[in-house]
Amino acid sequence: MNDEDEDGGLEPVVTIEVRGLSLYTHHGVGAAEREVGQRLVFDVTFDVEDCAATVTDEVEDTIDYGDVCQYVALAASERSFKTLEALCASIADRLIERYGATGVSVRAAKPEPPIPLPVEEVAVEVFKEGTPD
């Protein structure tokens, strides 16, 4: 999983995390969920093996967290999914492709789910592995 760097040591795997990204979306089984929409809260975690910022300490050598948030928002708005499972898998695939992530976890929660019982939230988490470069 880790490659040796020029000094014979192991290069670190960097984990990027975004917690509590709140987006208004149009996903769900019912027509009302897809038409009217609802708020979903996303937690995204992914690993990257090639992050020069661990050595250079330069911002341009790392991943822009704002860009990650914008990319998740774009992926969550381009089409409507019936299931959170399919939505999370689609976002995971996109993060693997965009950032070369070796492992991605995407969690989507509905804080106000359309069910007739009092619950704090319902959520789905999908984990996918990417292929290292």
Q: Looking at residue 113, which CATH number applies to its domain?
A: 3.30.1130.10
Tell me what pLDDT residue 86 has: 94
Asked whether residue 66 is domain-assigned, the answer is: yes
Per-residue pLDDT of the chain (133 residues), as tens digits, is 444 445 555 778 889 999 999 999 877 777 777 777 788 999 999 998 887 767 777 778 788 899 999 999 999 999 888 899 999 999 999 999 999 899 999 999 999 888 899 999 999 999 999 876 5
**Residues spanned by the domain of 95:** 14-129
Tell me what pLDDT residue 133 has: 56
Asked whether residue 8 is domain-assigned, the answer is: no
Asked whether residue 5 is domain-assigned, the answer is: no
Quote the number of domains for the chain.
1
Tell me what pLDDT residue 1 has: 46
Helix (H, G, I), strand (E, B) or coil at 120: coil
* Residues sharing a CB contact under 8 Å with residue 38, sequence separation 6 or more, in sequence order: 24, 25, 27, 28, 110, 112, 114
Asked whether residue 6 is domain-assigned, the answer is: no
Asked whether residue 33 is domain-assigned, the answer is: yes
Asked whether residue 79 is domain-assigned, the answer is: yes
Cβ proximity of 72 and 18 under 8 Å: yes
Cβ proximity of 44 and 80 under 8 Å: no
Tell me what pLDDT residue 42 has: 97
Query: How far is 6 from 12, CA to CA, in rounded Å?
Result: 13
Q: Which residue of the set 89, 104, 110, 126 is catalytic?
A: 110
110 is catalytic: yes
Asked whether residue 7 is domain-assigned, the answer is: no
Helix (H, G, I), strand (E, B) or coil at 59: helix
Tell me what pLDDT residue 2 has: 47
Tell me what pLDDT residue 60 has: 80
CB-hemisphere CA count at 13 Å for 20? 0
CA–centroid distance for 58 within its chain: 24
Identity at 78, one-letter amino acid code:
E
Asked whether residue 77 is domain-assigned, the answer is: yes
